[in-house]
Structure 1
Amino acid sequence: MSAAYKGDVSASECWSALGDTPEAFLVDVRTAAEWTFVGIPELSALGKQPILIEWQSYPTMAVDPAFPQRVAEAIAAAGGTQASPVYFLCRSGARSMASAAALTAAGFENCFNVADGFEGPADADGHRGTRAGWKAAGLPWVQR
C-alpha cells in the first residue's frame, strides 16, 4: 500500500465495494481505444456506470494535466464528494496507481487502485485477461 493513496484492491474487492457503498465510483483511466476495442466494466447491476476519463491519450501518452479537475467534476455531477470512495482502473494497475495518487494529491480522501486492472498481466502466451484483473475475476463487462 502506498502512502500516496488509500490502497490497492482486487477487482473483486472493488466490485463488492461499489455494490456496498452507494457513494463509491469507478474511474476507468484507460484510452478511448481500449474502452472501444477491449471493453469496459458493466456496472448496471449495481445501478452505476463507470466514469471514463483518460489518464494519458494515445499516441503521445502524455498525462492529461486536467485529469484531476475532470474527475472531480464528473464525481460532483454524479453526486459525489472528495470523501467518496473512488476506485481507479486501467489495463494492469500502473496508470490507475498514478491516477489514484494524483486525485489524492488533489484532495480526494479515499482513492483506491484496482491492482491488476481490467486485463491483468500477460500469460505465457502473451494474452491478457486470463490470469488476474476484472475480466479474469469473471466480473461483468461489455464492448461498445
Structure 2
Amino acid sequence: MTPQQPITPSEGYAGDITPQQAWLWVQAGQAVLVDVRSDAERDWVGQVPGAVPVAWKQWPGMAMNADFDAQMRAAVPEGGRAVLLCRSGVRSIAAARRATELGITAYNILEGFEGDADAQGQRGKKGGWRFHGLPWKQG
C-alpha cells in the first residue's frame, strides 16, 4: 500500500479516496471513519471495527435518516475530517456532500464496502473495502 495516494477532486465535497488511503488516515488519527450504510447492511453484510455508524438512509424503504446531521456533528470533532463508507461508493457521495454543507471536511471512499457487482451480479469480487483485505467483521 502506498503511503499517500492521490485524492480525486470532487464537486460538493473534499474528494474521493481509495479504501487503502482512508484506512491509513484512520489509523494515523487523521480522519473519522463513518459508515453511512443502513443498520441492516452493517448487521447482515459486515462492518468495520471502530467505524462510527451514521446511516444516510435506513432499511426498510431506505428512508432518509432524520438524525443524520446531528449524528455527523457528534461523530466528527470540529475541524476534523471524515471518510465516508457505503456499499459501493454512491450513497457516501450524497452523504459527503451533506456533511460538507454542515462544515465537515468529508471524503467519499471509492468502491465502498463491497465494491461493484460482477457479471453474475455479486459484490465483493470487484473492489471494495473487504476485497482489499482491510479490517472488517461479520455480524
Deviations 1:79-124 (A, max 9, x none): x22x21200000001111100100100111x210001100010111
Task: Specify the code of the residue in structure 1 equivalent to 2:11.
Answer: A
Task: Specify the code of the residue in structure 1 equivalent to 2:86.
Answer: C
Q: Which residue of 2 aligns with 1:36?
A: 43
Q: Which residue of 2 aligns with 1:104?
A: 100
Q: Which residue of 2 aligns with 1:139?
A: 134
Q: Is residue 13 of structure 2 the alignment partner of residue 5 of structure 1? A: yes
Deviation at 1:23, TM superposition (A): 4.4
Q: Which residue of 2 aligns with 1:128?
A: 123
Name the CA distance, whole Å, in 2 between partners of 1:136 and 1:74: 26
Name the CA distance, whole Å, in 2 between partners of 1:68 and 1:119: 25
Deviation at 1:16, TM superposition (A): 1.0
User: Runs ≥4 in structure 1, deviation > 6 angstroms?
Assistant: none
Q: Which has the higher contact order (CA 8 A, sep 6+)?
A: 1
RMSD between superposed Cα atoms in Å: 1.2
7, 29, 34: which one pairs with 1:27?
34
Q: Is the 8 A contact 2:58 2:64 kept in 1?
A: yes
Q: Which residue of 2 aligns with 1:61?
A: 62
Task: Specify the code of the residue in structure 2 equivalent to 1:89.
Answer: L
Structure 1 length-normalised TM? 0.85
Deviation at 1:41, TM superposition (A): 1.2
Structure 1 unaligned segments of length 5 or more: list them. 43-48
Q: Is the 8 A contact 2:32 2:75 kept in 1?
A: no
Structure 2 unaligned segments of length 5 or more: list them. 1-8
Identity of aligned residues (%): 38
Name the CA distance, whole Å, in 1 between partners of 2:56 and 2:73: 13
| Count of residues paired in the alignment | 131
